[in-house]
Structure 1
Amino acid sequence: MTDVPAWPRATPVLTPRLRLEPLRVQHAPEAVTVLDDVRLHAWTGGSPCTLEELEARYRRQAAGRSPDGRHGWLNWMLRRLADGRLVGTVQATLSRPERGGLEAELAWVIGVAHQGRGYGGEAALAMAGRLRDDGVDVLTAHIHPGHRASAGIARALGLRATDRVDEGEVLWRGPVTALPARTARTPRTSRRPGPPP
């Protein structure tokens, strides 16, 4: 059996308006109502999950890695600070390409009732900054060519559309160094030192 290096783990991240909470199975009952809208599948296909399906999916994803260990999984639920409501999710699938380094395939979903407020971009930037801190050097995303909102988020992350199309979605790619200045903080580093004793 080959030893598989450990993958980074999801930890809480704060933005000005959101708390990115590491995914837990217990998020499913609240998340199922946020994600229960066929319009969320217009670009990706499929249909909304039942509570049982979502619990099973979250149980797998919360493991933090694929069953064979070849991919790391980082998943966060997005909770609005103003009222504590879940508004969506962000996720990163990590891999170690043959060329070396660490690469992350990103995805984001914002509930229909919460779209158009910039939560997707804010959360994606925070997630990407966290991934940079974990040593990720390349970010990718697969985006339907008609999905202008997701293309805008990808551009904000410094990604550029490539010529590659997989199952109708364009591969966007870019180095983590293209990220704008840090906009998020993790709770453990957000405290400022107090006055000297």
Structure 2
Amino acid sequence: MHVIRSERLTLEPQVAAHAEEMFVVLSDPAIYEYENEPPQSVEWLRTRFAKLETRQSADGREQWLNWIIRLPTSEPIGYVQASVRPSGQAFIAYELSSAHWGRGLGSEAVRAMIGELIESYGVRRVSAVFKRENRRSMHLLEKLGFGLASPEEHVARHVETGEWLMLLELHQP
């Protein structure tokens, strides 16, 4: 994995040593308005990050890529992640501290990650699933060119009721 730089951000490969500083970021209750919950403890997060440091699923079929998002001040503000399949498909997720919402930092981080996925991992299709009420995620993905998947694709991918699946088809040179 590489460090990724964008205009205002650095995406640093996530490791277990990031747990303490990321615990503070991920304890922001606003992040969990629609789903999930804050990490239980720094130790729990450290264990989770150590597992993700393997960079692959237990069966070895997926690459797990996780980056910490940092401002120029080195302050961590969230993360971006992708599970990449050999087929060239990536499933992405992201979380950003609510103190940094509304400034385009989330879309900048996701755009930078997608660029890396294309260049270094041969990704040709990117998917994201999120709760339908989460308009911030929908707007972020639309800004990046994602479109809503068909009802048939929602069924085929077992997307839960109350969630949206959005897709981005990439064209490689």
TM-score in same-fold range (> 0.5) = yes
Q: Do structure 1's residue 65 and structure 2's residue 52 form an aligned pair?
A: no
Tell me, what secondary structure is at the counterpart of 2:145?
Answer: coil
Q: What is the TM-score of this pair, normalised by structure 1?
A: 0.78
Match of 2:77 in 1: 87
Structure with higher helix content: 2
Q: Do structure 1's residue 102 and structure 2's residue 88 form an aligned pair?
A: yes
Structure 2: tracts of 5 or more residues without a match: none
Opposite residue 125 of structure 2, the aligned amino acid is: V
Deviation at 1:107, TM superposition (A): 0.6
Q: Do structure 1's residue 170 and structure 2's residue 164 form an aligned pair?
A: yes
Q: Do structure 1's residue 125 and structure 2's residue 111 form an aligned pair?
A: yes
Paired residues of 1:128 and 1:176 also in contact (CA < 8 A): no
Q: Distance in 2 between matches of 1:12 and 1:121?
A: 17
Paired residues of 2:78 and 2:97 also in contact (CA < 8 A): yes
Paired residues of 2:23 and 2:41 also in contact (CA < 8 A): yes
Structure 1 pair 79–47 and aligned structure 2 pair: CA distance change class (3 A): closer
Tell me, what secondary structure is at the counterpart of 1:117?
Answer: coil
Tell me, what secondary structure is at the counterpart of 1:174?
Answer: strand
Q: What is the number of residues matched between the two proteins?
A: 164
Q: Distance in 2 between matches of 1:41 and 1:167?
A: 18
Opposite residue 46 of structure 2, the aligned amino acid is: E
Match of 2:100 in 1: 114
Q: Do structure 1's residue 19 and structure 2's residue 10 form an aligned pair?
A: yes
Tell me, what secondary structure is at the counterpart of 2:109?
Answer: helix
Q: Distance in 2 between matches of 1:23 and 1:56?
A: 12
Residues 124-160 of structure 1 show CA distances to partners (whole Å, capped at 9, x for unaligned) of 0000011111210000000211111111121122211
Deviation at 1:61, TM superposition (A): 0.7
Match of 1:76 in 2: 67
Deviation at 1:167, TM superposition (A): 5.4
Q: Which of residues 23, 30, 43 is equivalent to 2:21?
A: 30
Deviation at 1:47, TM superposition (A): 3.4
Match of 1:183 in 2: none
Q: Distance in 1 between matches of 2:99 and 2:13?
A: 22
Q: Distance in 1 between matches of 2:63 and 2:161?
A: 23
Paired residues of 1:75 and 1:91 also in contact (CA < 8 A): yes
RMSD: 1.5
Q: Distance in 2 between matches of 1:24 and 1:78?
A: 13
Residues 160-188 of structure 1 show CA distances to partners (whole Å, capped at 9, x for unaligned) of 1123232532111121239xxxxxxxxxx
Q: Which of residues 156, 162, 166 is equivalent to 2:143?
A: 156
Q: Which has the larger radius of gyration?
A: 1
Paired residues of 1:78 and 1:90 also in contact (CA < 8 A): yes
